[in-house]
Structure 1
Amino acid sequence: MATFTLDPQEIEVVQLHGLLLSGVAPRPIALASTVDREGNVNLSPFSFFNVFSANPPILIFSPARRVRDNTTKHTLENALETKEVVINTVNFPMVEQMSLASTEYNKGVNEFAKSGLTAIPSVRVKSPRVKESPVSFECVVENVIALGDQGGAGNLIIAKVVLIHIDDVYTNKDGKLDTIKLDMVARMGESWYTRANEAALFEIPKPIFTQGIGVDKLPTHVIKSDILTGNNLGRLGNAEKIPSEKEIAQFISTDDSLKKMVKDKDFYALHCRIRVYIKEENITNAILTTFSIK
């Protein structure tokens, strides 16, 4: 396996732009609605976007200067004029309409009408929100930081959330947002997107809730295994403690096939079994099997 290295200063901005978008992904999408001083509405998606603070609640997105001609986008111009924006989230049922809203229509053209998305009034800002969006954030623009003055340069719009609208279709019985129901989409490179639907979702126990033993505490034969993956090792290393000799002996005594693996030092079979336990989310048995041979 070979790695090649690129200096951003030595390649064209167009190539660098493409590499960054493909290499930093997936990226959430901010479907930003703004108005200018005359009240003309603009709607445009941005994938240079994320949440950066909860107290105060801050979202940041970045309308970059166009690479081809170094012009700025209407969203940026409107945000500078009115200091307001509504950031609407995007899920799969509306992704094609969101994409259509990215078309670079002339100033004054209403992308709500072009995309078929529904504009409904906001409460604390003049910009309308998108009815079809699962979650919409009414924001005031706290600051805009220009990162450069050439084509491709970003402009960080730092937006403080002043009101949140949630479509209760996407909540669970406890009133919390339901990740599976949300069916969110994210931007990849070129014309690719990804969908966070049920088939693509998975959970990992957060180490913040426990102090894992760490991969370095696993037996050497496990660390150097050709069967176990890095993800497998990470899951084993997240175990809270190394089982005691008594626990290990009791576990081995109940399984004749495991007894034979231990006696024969059959690392291949042992590692295969560990993988099965991990796949089944039976981490207790996986860690006991891991330490059955040290």
Structure 2
Amino acid sequence: MKLNKQEIDTLEFKFKINLINSITGIKPGNLIGTVDKEGNENLAIFSSVFHLGSNPPLIAFVTRPSQEVPRHTLQNILETSSYTVNHVVTDKIVNAHLTSAKFDKGISEFDACNLTPEYHPEINAPFVKESKIQIGMTLEDIMDVKANKTKIVIGRVNFLHIKEEKIVDDQGNINLSEAQSAGISGLRSYYSFQNLATLPIAHTDNIVVSEK
């Protein structure tokens, strides 16, 4: 398959959406938990969570345009400035995927999708009890992306709960296979992770490459 800009632009819509969502490869699967000022819980799956910096510890995600479809996650974050990021675990991918349905605001995706809210006093938002890696976030900034009217939501990591000791090594590296974390390709394909190697830091004076 070879496609130029014009050919990409004229692809059948659903085919193009699936194709462009998949070409970057496997992305992390995360459930973002929020609550509004009235205490209504919300949970939504995202594949756009990414590391933005370690000092200060910043994580960001992309939310789609909200002009036509209400974005309860974004609305709740704007109200409370608190939210959680929770790794999707491989034995709950169906439950996690179902949170992408367009539930009414008064319906909790935790209840509808059979996932368990869990609270820690440090963050005023629900975590996902089934997740082995839970991250508590406080809103720092929101950036508008003019090209497609999306928003990049930037938050600071203010709480971290890693539920099993074997998930993180003595140097702070996370083992995603031990965490049973799931990845997402496109909009509906889920993957498990296998650690292929942990390599030393590369330096120009010790470059050794395998043969082609």
Relative to the length of structure 2, the TM-score reads 0.85
Residue 47 in 1 paired to residue 59 in 2?
no
1:4-38: CA deviations, max 9, x gaps?
21259944775553332111121112210011121
SS of match in other structure, 2:60: strand
1:252-287: CA deviations, max 9, x gaps?
xxxxxxxxxxxxxxxxxxxxxxxxxxxxxxxxxxxx
Change (3 A) 1:9 1:99: closer
Match of 2:60 in 1: 60
Does structure 1 retain, via aligned residues, the 8 Å contact 2:85–2:137? yes
Query: For 2:196 and 2:123, how far apart are their aligned partners in 1?
Result: 37
Match of 1:183 in 2: 180
| Equivalent of residue 106 in structure 1, options 96, 101, 104 | 104
Query: For 1:204 and 1:7, how far apart are their aligned partners in 2?
Result: 41
Query: For 1:148 and 1:235, how far apart are their aligned partners in 2?
Result: 43
Displacement of 1:72:
3.6
Relative to the length of structure 1, the TM-score reads 0.63
Match of 2:23 in 1: 23
Change (3 A) 1:157 1:84: same
Report sequence identity in percent: 24
Change (3 A) 1:16 1:80: farther
Match of 2:76 in 1: 78
SS of match in other structure, 2:74: helix
1:71-94: CA deviations, max 9, x gaps?
241101111121111111112122
Higher-RCO chain (CA-CA 8 Å, sequence separation at least 6)? 2
- Bigger helix share: 1
The CA RMSD over aligned residues, in Å, is 2.8
Larger CA Rg, structure 1 vs 2: 1
Query: For 1:169 and 1:96, how far apart are their aligned partners in 2?
Result: 26
Displacement of 1:64:
0.8
Change (3 A) 1:209 1:121: same
Amino acid at match of 1:4: L
User: Which runs of 5 or more residues in structure 2 are unaligned?
Assistant: none
SS of match in other structure, 1:127: strand
Query: For 1:211 and 1:14, how far apart are their aligned partners in 2?
Result: 48
Displacement of 1:213:
4.5
Displacement of 1:125:
2.1
Query: For 1:121 and 1:30, how far apart are their aligned partners in 2?
Result: 17
Amino acid at match of 1:48: S
- Bigger strand share: 2
Change (3 A) 1:204 1:236: farther
Match of 2:164 in 1: 168
User: Which runs of 5 or more residues in structure 1 are unaligned?
Assistant: 215-233, 238-294
Displacement of 1:172:
6.2
| Equivalent residues in 2 for 1:1-294, closer than 5 Å | 3-7=2-6, 10-11=9-10, 16-65=16-65, 70-148=68-146, 153-168=149-164, 170-171=166-167, 174=170, 177-197=174-194, 201-203=195-197, 205-206=199-200, 208-209=202-203, 211-213=205-207, 234-236=209-211
Change (3 A) 1:171 1:146: same
1:34-93: CA deviations, max 9, x gaps?
111212110001111111111011110112127xx8324110111112111111111212
- The alignment of Structure 1 onto Structure 2 pairs a total of residues equal to 210
Query: For 1:42 and 1:115, how far apart are their aligned partners in 2?
Result: 11
